[in-house]
Structure 1
Amino acid sequence: MSDATAPAAFQGYGSKSYRAYVLFVLVIVYTFNFIDRLLISIVQEAIKEDFGVSNFMLGLLGGPVFAILYTTLGIPIARLSERANRITIVSIGAFLWSLMTAACGFAQNFLQLALCRLGVGIGEAACVPPSQSAFADYLPAERRASALAIFSLGIPFGTALAAVGGGWLVANFDWRTAFWLLGAPGIAAAILLKLTVREPPRSSKVEPPSFSETLKSLSTKASFWHIAFGGALMSFVGYGSSQFLVSHMVRNYELAPTLPQEIANASYALGAIGGIATGLGTFLGGFLSDRLAPKHPRVHTWLPALGMSIAIPLYIMSFIQTEFAFAFGFLMLAPIFHYMYLGPMYAVTMGVSQPLQRATAVAILLLIVNLIGYGLGPPFVGAANDFFANQVLAQNGLTLAQCADAANAATCANAQGLGLKTALGTTMIFLGWAALHFLLAGRTVVKDRVG
């Protein structure tokens, strides 16, 4: 076919300003997705005090209880997204997860809170695969990494708002109010999305391939599997550590005279880390990848690996500090390099998938990432915290079971703090394993790309 008869390259659906608006609204929705997902980690010290649960049980609330239905429903919802209106699917999901987050505030025991978290997971399963599939039909390929990185800013934005808002509400009201007031506004975001964003026409009109066909196609793409398992290990570290960062700061540093004030101050610190450092890293990962890709076609794999190699020592330096100012300083640097992987991870997944396989490919990616990351990360850190705390207590002839005795309060508090520091530092080692997978993905990523 000659240049004169070749079809024009896809320039995107709608005007540039409308595409920017669509991206803006979806970032808002994704921000509420992460507010509602992470709020439990902000208020968990207050829940621990009210319900008397262990660190491992807190890890279950933040991990498997949420992740079970969130991950398993992702694939059938993605399959629906290949045929049905993707904007409607995301809107319904946002309405449900926001409603269930508000319902968490009414829980009277651990079981009721766990059931509400299951509901949050069901709703949130309807967010990322259909959103990213819609992006692929709104945007030309050369702009997807940047757009996906901007969409992923919902993660740091949501983290920051959950931290600052949740911390302030716990300090001035209680943890139940935090769930009510931060959960309900997501319902308005769901309505805004449905009423103002159009479903884009699909780039292919043919019948979408079956799940087995999509899986068979991806099975030949080694880069996809390395990116998926690398992303899963990154999430294992990210979700596991973020679940306990507020607890770490409360237990190891004197931030205020009362527990609610300590939670608030630690949450504000986490808000700065999540909103500024994580946001900057997320944006830079996508921006630099798009700019470097024309000359460096494997940049989506080696740039995240480079970031991880820098993040590991920064994290470890933070967790060995005894002064909060130094610990906070290192924690402001490490996520910049840690979260450079998000945009490239999704861009590789889109790049190796056929147009009508993208939502399903993203769902398979998220199944792997979240089963390992959410399903195992928080409970691993919680269990490691309990294990290392017991080691410290054993040196004083005590066990965690004896911490209910007020006479042992000071010794137990010290053990809990030291145990959590050690657990967090140990978890960072998994970033090195993740970096190896990203580097291995670079061996075939160019060959695996579609078109």
Structure 2
Amino acid sequence: MTAQSYPAPRYAWYALGVICFGYVFAFIDRQIVGLLAPDIQQHFSLNDTQMGLLQGIAFAIFYTIFGIPLGWFADRFNRKWLLTGGMTVWSLMTAACGFAPGFMPLFVLRMGVGVGESTLNPCASSLISDYFPPAKRPRAFGFYVMSTAFAGVLSSAIGGTVIAALRGYEYVSIPMLGDFKPWQVTMLVVGLLGLLPAILLAATVKEPARLGLAAKQKGNATWAETRAFLISNRMSLGLFLMAASLVILEIYGGAYWHPSVFIRVYGWSAPDVAFYYLVPSGCIGIFSAYTSGTVTNYFKKRGMGEGVWMTAMFGCVGCTVFGTLGPIMPTSELALTVLLLKSVFINYPSAAAMTAINELTPNEQRGFTTALYVILTGLVAQGLGPLSVGMTTDFAFGDPKMIGISLAAVVSVTGVLAMLCLLWGRKAYREALGRVTWEAAAKPAGAAA
């Protein structure tokens, strides 16, 4: 197979841009709840544990349950239309959150957001692998993960602007719909805007041919082939993805609770958090995502086939060190500085995980393998990240102003566990690269063909 088998580079980057546009709104739908948390808690009289359930478990339950079947579908059916449907569902569910009359309806709607978003990573991972040859994928996946940084900037800008504009209003009247709290208006606006990438994907992007097949019949992999692949890579890919999920747990915990740290501990307002922390953090996150592929290729060009592993370790160390110290700084200025330093590394683990899946997995198993990764990030990271911090605050300290200490405790423990997983699996990862036969560009220098 040659690079000419892939779509023209200009079109490939355009298609990736549309997918990333959708990812931006998917991440906005997740992060906006953290920015609006104080208003939602006040409106429904929720404690931190309940808020952690809304931000984590509610989304993660169906995000993970639907991940496996949708990953299976992504390996067999039209990925473009599957992803278009997912974008439509998660956007409408986010908009509907603005109409929720209480905790349980809001919990159910957050589940619906999870159903829609469970299509994203399996479809995107498989599509990107068919748009870009192996040598270009680290940069492509770095660009894909960059979407989360753009989303951070946009959600902060949109949310902060709406909150600031409506600060003096207890309710906002919308013709034919009624009166809404400012946080409800924000959810409605963000959800409806998310329909734009769904329309663009449906109208302008084509389903690419499937390349890099390894199944005996060069088509759909059998369950026996898939099971054999997963068993043979349980140490290499399994430990790598567990490490990524653990460090992403601390990233999600911070994404949802950092605004509350600045508001409760340092006395900032929600617009202040949006404009002075979240927007700069998102901009630095763009740099993080862009450089993740550069770091991977730097090591690969110097004969280290496991360059993706190195990128993951860099991200793990940076996020853990700065993520632990940031929330416990004595002043808001120091906390801001340290947490912005964390943002330099924040997209390394997720970009490395997506690249690793495509580096070690044949095409016809990428959707299913990515779905397993979605389960890990859903249950471990998305599900437990916000909840573990909220429960630590409520039950270990019993004081809302101890939220910074709670964050530091969760980040330090999960970060160390992630590093141990990476170290344990490094040798196995290097050996797994040597077994890749469907794409020679993924093999380390000196590996047998």
Match of 1:320? 328
**Aligned pair partner of 1:253 in 266, 271, 277:** 266
Structure 1 position 310, deviation (Å): 3.5
Structure 1 position 12, deviation (Å): 5.1
- 1:228-267 matches, within 5 Å, as 228-255=241-268, 262-267=269-274
Structure 1 position 238, deviation (Å): 1.1
Give the Cα–Cα distance (whole angstroms) in 1 for the partners of residues 427 and 300 of structure 2.
Answer: 15
**Aligned pair partner of 1:432 in 405, 416, 438:** 416
Match of 1:170? 163
Does 1:276 pair with 2:276? Answer: no
**Aligned pair partner of 2:210 in 188, 197, 202:** 202
- Is the 1:87–1:197 Cα contact (8 Å) retained in structure 2? yes
Task: Normalising by structure 1, report the TM-score.
Answer: 0.88
- 1:155-194 matches, within 5 Å, as 155-173=148-166, 174-194=182-202
Q: Deviations over 1:238-282 (max 9, x none)?
A: 112211111111001122xxxxxx111112234225412322222
Match of 1:410? none
- 1:392-411 matches, within 5 Å, as none
Amino acid at match of 2:204: T
Does 1:444 pair with 2:437? Answer: no
Match of 2:238? 225
Structure 1 position 63, deviation (Å): 0.6
Structure 1 position 319, deviation (Å): 1.9
Give the ranges of 4+ consecutive aligned residues of structure 1 lying more than 4 Å apart after TM superposition: none
Give the Cα–Cα distance (whole angstroms) in 2 for the partners of residues 309 and 156 of structure 1.
Answer: 19
**Aligned pair partner of 1:120 in 113, 123, 133:** 113
Match of 1:3? none
- Is the 1:36–1:101 Cα contact (8 Å) retained in structure 2? yes
Structure 1 position 212, deviation (Å): 5.4
Structure 1 position 61, deviation (Å): 0.4
Structure 1 position 133, deviation (Å): 0.3
Amino acid at match of 1:46: D
Residue 423 of structure 1 aligns to a residue whose secondary structure is: helix
CA RMSD of aligned residues (A): 1.6
Change in 2 beyond 3 A, CA 1:382/1:211: farther
Give the Cα–Cα distance (whole angstroms) in 2 for the partners of residues 11 and 447 of structure 1.
Answer: 29
Structure 1 position 340, deviation (Å): 1.5
- 1:39-54 matches, within 5 Å, as 39-54=32-47
In structure 2, runs of 5+ residues without a counterpart are 167-181, 438-449
Change in 2 beyond 3 A, CA 1:12/1:387: farther
Residue 243 of structure 2 aligns to a residue whose secondary structure is: helix
- Is the 1:71–1:367 Cα contact (8 Å) retained in structure 2? yes
- Is the 2:118–2:374 Cα contact (8 Å) retained in structure 1? no
- 1:298-317 matches, within 5 Å, as 298-317=306-325
Amino acid at match of 1:80: F
Match of 1:109? 102
Structure 1 position 109, deviation (Å): 0.5
Structure 1 position 229, deviation (Å): 0.7
Does 1:216 pair with 2:199? Answer: no
Match of 1:59? 52
**Aligned pair partner of 1:421 in 379, 382, 404:** 404
Q: Which moved more, 1:199-208 or 1:173-182?
A: 199-208
Amino acid at match of 1:350: N
Q: Deviations over 1:222-242 (max 9, x none)?
A: 210111110110121111221
Match of 1:30? 23
Match of 1:21? 14
Structure 1 position 148, deviation (Å): 0.7
- Is the 1:273–1:335 Cα contact (8 Å) retained in structure 2? no
Amino acid at match of 1:265: D
Residue 336 of structure 1 aligns to a residue whose secondary structure is: coil
Q: Deviations over 1:371-425 (max 9, x none)?
A: 11112111100001112442xxxxxxxxxxxxxxxxxxxxxxxx412x1011011
In structure 1, runs of 5+ residues without a counterpart are 1-7, 256-261, 391-414
- 1:86-105 matches, within 5 Å, as 86-105=79-98
Q: Deviations over 1:99-138 (max 9, x none)?
A: 1100000111001111111111111111111111011111
Amino acid at match of 1:100: M
Residue 347 of structure 2 aligns to a residue whose secondary structure is: helix
Give the Cα–Cα distance (whole angstroms) in 2 for the partners of residues 82 and 144 of structure 1.
Answer: 19
- Is the 1:235–1:370 Cα contact (8 Å) retained in structure 2? no
Give the Cα–Cα distance (whole angstroms) in 1 for the partners of residues 385 and 276 of structure 2.
Answer: 22
Q: Identity percentage over the alignment? A: 26
Does 1:77 pair with 2:70? Answer: yes
Match of 1:398? none
